[in-house]
Amino acid sequence: MLDKNALSQLQSLKQEIQKAVPRHEGTVRATGGRFGFVNTDDGLQFFIAPEEMEKVLPGDRIAFRVEPAGEGKEQAIIEALISTDLNEFFGTYIVRGKGHFVEADHPTLNRWIFVPPAKRMNAADGDLVRAHIAQHPYPHGKAQAELDEIIGKGDEPHIETRFIKRKWGLTDAFAEECLAEVAALCAAGLDALTADRTDLTHLPFVTIDSASTRDIDDALYAEALSNGWNLWIGIADPAALIQPGSALDKAAAQRTTSVYFPDEMIPMLPPELSEQLCSLQQDQNRLSMVVELRISEQGAIENIHIHNALIRSHAKLSYNQVAAYLEGDEHGDLAAELHGPLIHLDACARALGNWRKTHCLIMDDRPDFKLVLDDNGKVRDIVRMERNQAHRVVEESMLACNRAVAAWLATRESGFFIEHSGVRTERKGEVAALLKEHLPLERKPELATLEEYVSLMQQADASPSELPLRTIVSRQLERSNLSLEAKPHMGLGFAYYTTFTSPLRKYNDLLIHRIVRSLLNNDSPVQPDDSLLAAIQAGQNNARICAQQSETWMKLQWLAQQDKETVYDATIIHMNSGAFTVRLDNTGIEGTIDRRKASGWTFETKTITHRSEQGLFMLGQAVKVKVQDVQAKGRAAKFALI
């Protein structure tokens, strides 16, 4: 039996051991498996074993100690929950015997959450639901959820978009205050706002868009000169009607953009404005900000003049109509007065494209894919839509307008811009080594200036290398950002870039209109701050994700109904050490091919390739695949390489 002195010494030894054990605080990060990691504020990362991971949720802030895990490894042992952010979530209701769960539609919450009997709202297996965490797993060891709403069943008409809208908090309804402002604007009409505007209604502007488009925000006209063209780009002018700080302005700022789902559209502005009073409808006088560009025969922008104008669209044309005429169909229903301007538009756009090809960067055309829906909003077919010359006419005109307005703003040290800084900092070393190895370069490039980057990418396009150099670099670029600084857009190869051409659909374009008008009136423009630009960018990113999630879900439902033995033509669009991402050529559906069990293959990060003695897989490579598994609600497809 130990005496008091020995017990005291033993207690002191235990305390010293406890003090010697490393302790930290950090944030839990989930993985695709049952294990996870915890990241500390000073950049350390520790493994969390599955049994410990069951005690926490992704994003939790925890206190933990570090203990040996065998074979020289360490693991985190949770000692306290500091805070948790995960509360509300959406998902699918699952019934397995007597157990009721929610399978979360969440990027990192990859476990089923138990729902106790009193919290189930009579939900049935397969229902799509909204729920919240009713019991955190720490220290109980088992998370529990409570249902808040049954959104619908998985086979209901249009459930995909309805669920995604609820998940992301999107609504197409406008507040009463907004509707009252719209009613007042429509009642007042436009006559009182036209007096001080340049009357350009005599110019035969036309709109070129999809046949079904109603929120028309750009119109075009070109006239040929002896040594080039005058290109007129008329843009809808909702900023003339919507006052800063009004209910409409606040709603547009909150929405940030119109959202285009396969089966519906959520407008940024009420349809009475975006599709009627402000839309550049045929044969209607409309308020417009018109950018007049002097284009040289070589396609250079030589001059810009911006008009606070009134215009009139002389025709609402579809892409197919214009493309058919430009390709020689002289028997269409286009008015004779439009023939010359369309020929001039085409010639001007081709010159602009050639100039960009020489001085900037052009990406290859990618097809669009149209979902053909049945009466229940389910996909009946997916049609590949190739881009035609009419698409290119509009694209070149919009790009010219946007970069010209950006340069105009930069010289006045005003406005904001879309900047793109090129290759990610952590990837510059490998990209520089790749380019030096495959291009005739004496030294590694620095990838620091716009001029150098454009030159290198043009050389990469022309390189005889077996590798798709330009595509490899494109997978390692930064994202573009809204910025108050006039910095280059490396991805496009422009010295400055902003967007001015979609004020009915994007809030940042509406703000640019306000700034441009203030400068035209010699007033001091109100500049947005960084927080507003960040909110706009976040809102537009979320809108893009929403539309993609709904479309992917609907496409995969269609894919799951096809013959399982069908062999599809596909293209490798990305890869890492464990998987390929491929895109089906005729539908645009994307999915993964697991390569973790492919023996004898090695992955090279510099070239983004898989190599073996058998051959080579690289980006852009054509492959044939079969469907292995489709999880439509989870928006994931797995393919097998044939």
**Per the domain annotation, does 159 fall within a domain?**
no
Are 373 and 462 in a shared domain?
no
Which is the catalytic residue, given 60, 105, 217, 346?
217
Indicate whether 614 pLDDT > 90.
Answer: no
Residue 9's pLDDT is 54
- Tokens representing 2? 């130990």
**Per the domain annotation, does 158 fall within a domain?**
no
Are 276 and 360 in a shared domain?
yes
**Per the domain annotation, does 493 fall within a domain?**
no
**Per the domain annotation, does 171 fall within a domain?**
no
106 φ, ψ (degrees, to nearest 5):
-145, 140
Question: Which pLDDT band, with edges at 50, 70 and 90, does 1 fall under?
Answer: low
Indicate whether 330 pLDDT > 70.
Answer: no
Give, as one character, the DSSP assignment of residue 523. Answer: P
- Angle at which helix 507-520 crosses helix 530-560, to 10 degrees, equals 140
State pLDDT tens for residues 226-261: 999 999 999 999 999 999 999 999 999 999 999 999
Residue 17's pLDDT is 47
Which is the catalytic residue, given 505, 507, 514, 568?
505
Q: How far is CA 574 from the centre of its chain?
A: 17
Alpha-carbon span 573 to 620, nearest angstrom: 6
List all residues 6 or more positions away from 624 whose beta carbon is below 8 Å from its beta carbon: 567, 568, 569, 570, 641, 642
Indicate whether 526 pLDDT > 70.
Answer: yes
Are 513 and 597 in a shared domain?
no
State pLDDT tens for residues 167-204: 999 999 999 999 999 999 999 999 999 989 999 999 99
Q: Which of 62, 83, 104 is the last residue of a domain?
A: 83
The span from the first CA to the last CA of the chain, in angstroms, equals: 73
Q: Which of 56, 83, 110 is the last residue of a domain?
A: 83
* 100-129: average pLDDT: 95
CA angle 231, 233, 239 (to 5 degrees): 155
Range of the domain at 37: 20-83
Are 350 and 238 in a shared domain?
yes
Residue 165's pLDDT is 96
Give, as one character, the DSSP assignment of residue 238. Answer: G
Which is the catalytic residue, given 138, 221, 319, 325?
319
Alpha-carbon span 617 to 580, nearest angstrom: 9
Question: Which pLDDT band, with edges at 50, 70 and 90, does 11 fall under?
Answer: low
Active site residue 319: yes
- Tokens representing 159? 């459930």
Question: Which pLDDT band, with edges at 50, 70 and 90, does 15 fall under?
Answer: low
Are 467 and 521 in a shared domain?
no
Order of strands, sheet of 609-612, starting from the edge strand that comes earlier in the sequence: 602-604, 609-612, 615-618
* 507-524: average pLDDT: 97
Residue, of 329 and 334, whose pLDDT is higher: 334
Are 196 and 332 in a shared domain?
yes
**Per the domain annotation, does 382 fall within a domain?**
yes
User: How many structural domains does the chain have?
Assistant: 5
Residue 6's pLDDT is 54
Of the listed ranges 60-74, 117-131, 263-277, 371-385, the least confidently predicted one is 60-74
Are 143 and 187 in a shared domain?
no
Active site residue 509: no
Indicate whether 13 pLDDT > 60.
Answer: no
Contacts of the segment 106-112: beta carbons below 8 A, 24+ positions apart: 106/58, 108/29, 108/30, 108/58, 108/59, 109/30, 109/57, 109/58, 110/30, 110/32, 111/34, 111/143
* 352-363: average pLDDT: 96
Indicate whether 527 pLDDT > 70.
Answer: yes
Indicate whether 141 pLDDT > 90.
Answer: no
Are 32 and 126 in a shared domain?
no
**Per the domain annotation, does 161 fall within a domain?**
no
Indicate whether 555 pLDDT > 70.
Answer: yes
| CATH code, domain carrying 137 | 2.40.50.640
Are 199 and 59 in a shared domain?
no
Residue 10's pLDDT is 55
Which is the catalytic residue, given 209, 249, 263, 509?
209
Task: State the chain's mean pLDDT as an integer.
Answer: 94
* 393-414: average pLDDT: 98
* 138-165: average pLDDT: 93
Residue 71's pLDDT is 81
Are 353 and 404 in a shared domain?
yes
Question: Which pLDDT band, with edges at 50, 70 and 90, does 130 fall under?
Answer: very high
Q: Which of 96, 120, 153 is the last residue of a domain?
A: 153
Are 412 and 427 in a shared domain?
no
Are 103 and 74 in a shared domain?
no
Which is the catalytic residue, given 60, 127, 218, 509?
218
Residue 5's pLDDT is 62
**Per the domain annotation, does 195 fall within a domain?**
yes
Q: Which is nearest to 230 in space by CA: 58, 348, 135, 133? A: 348
Residue 411's pLDDT is 97
Which is the catalytic residue, given 60, 127, 215, 263?
215
| CATH code, domain carrying 48 | 2.40.50.140
Q: Which is nearest to 526 in space by CA: 307, 196, 178, 249? A: 249
**Per the domain annotation, does 3 fall within a domain?**
no
- Tokens representing 297? 């025969």
